[in-house]
Chains A and B, each alone.
Chain A
Amino acid sequence: MRVLPHVGSFVPAGPDEILRPAKPWFVLASLFAGLLLNLVPLQDPVMTYRPDFLALVLLYWCIQEPRFVGVGIAWLLGLLMDVGDATLFGQHALAYAVLAYGAEHFRRRVLRFPLWQQAVQVAALLVLCALIVLFVRFVGGAPLPKWTYLAPPLVGALLWPLVSVLLQTPQRPSHGSRR
């Protein structure tokens, strides 16, 4: 597979590198993989820090392929997550819809930054998502969670460079020169 060297060198495509359009099946498969990763049963210490993989993948596609993945698809996936996690109906859906909208808003700017600076902005969006969920649940009468509630979005932001390089790999020109 040609996939591996790119990932191994861990270099994202520069702003001047022209990417091929993403294949719809790849977008859907990656979203499905994100959903599956979110549904993996875990025990407690790991669970506390587990990032929201689906939100990360969704964010990537909302930035890269806004025509294909937008607020509507994000909302539907959020509903599925609500069922999978047995949370209130509409809580993830609302958060993901806002996430998709935020991505649409800053997508032209964010790709100009190096990956770690993108991660900072992604962290802000993911924390916003978490705060929306917190607000919804708090209004619904849930107790305030511990500070570790904010750990998953931050871990998610740390994973952003990895996720974006992985998802970018199939779109990169196959025999591109490596700098």
Chain B
Amino acid sequence: MRPIPVDTPAFFNRGPSPRARLAFFGLLSLALLFADTRYRYLENVRQAAAIALYPMQRALEMPGAAFAFVSDYFGSKRHLADENVMLRQELVARAPATQGYARVQEENARLRALLDVRAQYAASAIAVQVLYTGRDPFTQKLFVDKGSTGGVQPGAGVIDASGVVGQVTRVFPYMAEVTLITDRDQAVPVQVERSGARSVLFGNGTGRSPELRFTSPSADIRPGDRLLTSGLDGTYPPGLAVAEIVDVVRDSGQMFARIVCKPVAGIDHSEFLLVVSQSSALPPRPDEPGDGDAVKKGGRVRGRRG
């Protein structure tokens, strides 16, 4: 004789229990997270989903854009006239530098030819507009309105009117993601304008100032010094303004000085940016002996110059 089953029969088939579902989807998310952090396998999936989301995102910008357009339209004539005068003055103020630049460039080319140095670079530039700032509180990112169809290459540098903003890290067909120089561990090779000392600027994450790391306490760096790109990385053309030194803490107990910097560019408020890339490729890298860490190497180079 069979015992009467005590479990209530499943009247309504509802599939696996929520706990089973949570376990399944939780593990799946963990696998995705792992694949994304370690191997970047999923860029294709991301591209596809990004294309699907793109029209929505553009549509959502419309109210803001319409508001800006209307307020522009009704903006006072006085304001526009003032702005016009200011821009004209600025243009004239910059004229000597611009006019001199062509001559200097020509002279430079001639001298370089004399010295038999490789032509420096022919940077290409693409003007872009910021669509929106990244919504992830852990990273510092911007999205701009041109992507692979507009000729933006991953890895290109991004600057605004006053200095370096960041680097293109991901390119979608119609937009591109720019990682700001203040993002955690985002590195920019720099050179101190006054002394020529080389170092690497590292971002420190949201709300914290970038720093020069691995710089010896005896380095010739003072508060107020301007940092320019050194162009050693082949990403940023040399000579672009990056940051200004705010504070130098030299502690004899530490191996490196703590050097706090402030970015020159309007990192969080520039609307129009320029994507610059060095078209001439650098010579191929020599094979690294063993597991050479790029960061450590930068520090050593810097130390030798001392």
Contact = CB atoms under 8 A, between A and B. Distances in A.
A109 to B, nearest CB: 15
Interface stretch (B115-123, B128-136, B239-247): B128-136
Residue of B25, B35, B64, B136 most packed against chain A (CB within 10 A): B25
A83 to B, nearest CB: 4
B280 interface: no
B57 A86 contact: no
Contacts of B36: 88-90
A47 B30 contact: no
Interface residues of A, number: 45
A41 B61 contact: yes
A35 to B, nearest CB: 8
Contacts of A67: 14
A39 B25 contact: no
Interface stretch (B92-100, B187-195, B200-208, B254-262): B200-208
Contacts of B57: 39, 41, 84
A101 B19 CA distance: 7
B301 interface: no
B137 A145 contact: yes
Interface stretch (A134-142, A155-163, A164-172): A134-142
A16 interface: no
A42 B57 CA distance: 12
B29 A97 contact: yes
B138 A143 contact: yes
B141 interface: yes
Interface string A42-74: 111001100000000000000000010011100
Nearest to B203: A143
A94 interface: yes
A29 B42 CA distance: 28
Nearest to B45: A89
B306 interface: no
Given A84-B53, A91-B33, A94-B29, 15 more contacts: A38-B135, A39-B57, A41-B131, A43-B133, A47-B133, A71-B18, A71-B22, A84-B135, A85-B136, A89-B36, A90-B29, A97-B25, A97-B26, A145-B138, A149-B137
5 contacts: A39-B60, A75-B29, A86-B134, A97-B26, A104-B18
10 closest A-B pairs by beta carbon, nearest first, are A41-B132, A90-B32, A94-B29, A143-B205, A90-B29, A83-B49, A71-B21, A142-B138, A89-B36, A90-B33
